[in-house]
Structures are given as structure tokens and as C-alpha cells.
Amino acid sequence: MRNAFLCSILLAIATPAYGQSFNIDFGSSGSTPAATYAAAGIPGTWNAIGVLPPFERAPLVDLAGQPSSAMIYMFGGTIMMEVDDPGTSDDHQALMDDMLIGYCDPVDVCIWVENLVVGDYEVLTYALTPSDPARTCPVRVDFGSPGPTNVGGAWPGDHAELVTYVRHTVTPTNNKIALHSGTYNGNFQAGINGIQIRQLSGVSVDPSPSQGETRIRRISPNPSASPQTIEFTLAGTNAGRDLEIIDLAGRQVCRRPLAGLSAGAQALQWDGLDTAGRRARAGIYLARIAGADPGAVASLHKLVRIQ
């Protein structure tokens, strides 16, 4: 008899940082949000990036504030707008009250982040114009999903998708993410308040991890519309550990307690049903092994469901 997931009540869980992940605020160095500020993504050190000369590189630090190989550069962003929106304060104000803008004459605001490791990424682009609630900015990520999406409106009191930001997923080409606000040769104002980039998974999977590690080895078939087998290894006691499926917003879709399983190679199967017994929608999910402490994440791996 196959091992099925035991689903529990849906819980809101903070999504952990994984691999190369970056928070970027376009503005002055003295007005960046605190590292505890998650915006609509996950918390971590915010890079302060001003207007850069065309194609001049600037280094990025990761969410832990550590130097990385990633570099950012731009073209078409020519002015830093700073406005005091009376509705925002503190970290919201630091992120949303300034904006890198361009006039799409002839190009839109173009941002590149390069030297990324191969894998899948989530990109949150903030594009609410603080001086003009009626303005929307067409935002896109090259080769990303969804396609061009308008973002804008009046500050709603907290982050709201399509008002303050849009969420894309992308597998970079040439180890680079390219994103844009505006329309090529559109001759109108568009801009970006900030960006959050989170690596969802890498492409390499170690088929023979050390027996001393707790980690997911592989998921197969992947992608799939049928049940998927998650192979993993466990080390030591597993009381309080769970194998979880979460969506890209960090919401728990399903979980299986691992208490009672012995150390070594293990495998469980997910039939694609969520907590309520409904079939999960097609898309990208994350399988993870988590400890009793929500921050004690031992492994994270991309899982793709198709129709």
C-alpha cells in the first residue's frame, strides 16, 4: 500500500530564502527598508540602488547581507522620483515613496540581474507610482510567466498584487534575469520601486547524498499530472519534522509528519490533492522538509503540476 500525504488545516507559513535571493530598493542608501521587512515576499537585507549609468554594474548582497556574484545594471531608468505619500510610513515608505523612472523614449525601464546560478526564480516587481495613483506601469519579465501585466493604483494600506506589485516566475537564460517597466518607444512615464528575487530551485540533484544529511533527493515524475514520488534521506530523530508542499506564496498545501520514520533513504507519494481533498492547480510548488521550528528548513525542491 502506497504512503499517502496526510493533509492538515491550511497554515500561513513564511517561505524561507533559498539559494541566490535578493531584495532591491531603488532609492537612496539612507531610506532602505529594514532587513526584517518582507514586503510581499520574504525578509532580508535590502540593496539600495540609485540611477546607474547605462550598463554600469553594481554588486548585490544576498538576504543575509553577504556579498554575492550577482550584479545589477540598467538602461532607460534616468530619474529617481521621491514623493512623500501621507498614507505610507516606516518600511512601506522606504520602499514605495521612491521610484526609478524613465519615459519610454525610446526604451522602457530595463533592469538586468546577472551571474545567477541555473534554476527557477520568483520575481516580485513593485511599480506603484507614488506621485500619481491613476498611473499604471506595464511590467514584464523576459521569458517569465505571466506576460506583461499592469501595476498601479492608490496605496491600499498594505501590499496588494497588481496594485503595488506583480509576481512572475522565470527560468533565466544565460544566468540572467531581465525585467522591464513601460513599453518600448511608448513615450510615457513608467518605473519600478523595487524588486525581490527568490531562487526556487536549482537544476542539480545529488542522487546519493550522505546518510548524515536530511534532504530531498529527487521528485519523479516531475513535472506530472499523476502522483509524484518524493525521495529523500533523513538523519537522526525526526520528531517534529514534516514533509510539506507549499505554493509560491508560502501557503501550505499539504503535509506529512515524518515522526516514526527511520534514518536513511525514504520515499513518499503525493497524489496532487490539497488539504481539503481538492486537486491542486497546475503550476510550480515547493516540496520541503521542515523542523518543528518554522525556520529549521532542511531541504527545498521544485515540484511542478500540470493538467
Spatial separation of the C-alpha atoms in residues 7 and 97, rounded to whole Å: 42
Does the pLDDT of residue 294 top 60, yes or no? Answer: no
Measured on CA atoms in the order 152, 50, 118, 208, is the torsion positive or negative? negative
Answer with the residue of higher pLDDT: 88 or 286: 88
Q: What confidence tens digit (pLDDT) does each residue in 117-175 have? A: 888 899 999 999 999 999 999 999 998 888 899 999 999 999 999 999 999 998 887 88
pLDDT greater than 80 at residue 61: yes
Which long-range contacts link 67-73 to residues 24+ away (Cβ below 8 Å)?
68/20, 68/22, 68/115, 69/115, 70/20, 70/22, 70/113, 70/114, 70/115, 70/116, 71/113, 71/114, 71/115, 72/24, 72/47, 72/111, 72/112, 72/113, 72/114, 73/111, 73/112, 73/114
User: How remote is the C-alpha of 241 from its chain's centroid?
Assistant: 24
C-alpha dihedral, 281 to 283 to 287 to 291, nearest 10°: -70
If you average pLDDT over residues 230-253, what whole number do you get? 81
Q: How far apart are CA 48 and CA 31, in angstroms?
A: 8
**Which sign, positive or negative, has the C-alpha torsion 29, 34, 39, 42?**
positive
- CATH number assigned to the domain with residue range 215-305, chosen from the 4 options 3.90.1150.10, 2.60.40.4070, 3.30.450.20, 1.10.760.10: 2.60.40.4070
- Tens digits of residue pLDDT in 93-117: 999 999 999 999 889 999 999 999 8
Which is nearest to 107 in space by CA: 76, 79, 138? Answer: 76
**C-beta of residue 253 within 8 angstroms of C-beta of residue 275:** yes
pLDDT at 212: 53
Residue 78 has pLDDT above 90, yes or no: yes
The share of the chain scoring above pLDDT 90, in percent, equals 49
Alpha carbon 59 to its chain's center: 19
Phi, psi of 142 (to 5 degrees): -55, 130
CATH superfamily for 22-202 is Galactose-binding lectin (2.60.120.430)
Question: Does residue 300 have a pLDDT over 80?
Answer: no
Measured torsion, CA atoms of residues 82, 84, 90, 95, in degrees rounded to the nearest 10: -30
The C-alpha cell of 147 is what?
506576460
- Please count the other Cβ atoms lying within 10 Å of the Cβ belonging to residue 164: 25
**DSSP class of 2:** P
How does strand 22-26 pair with strand 194-202?
A: antiparallel
In the chain, domain spans:
22-202, 215-305
Q: Return the pLDDT at 216.
A: 83
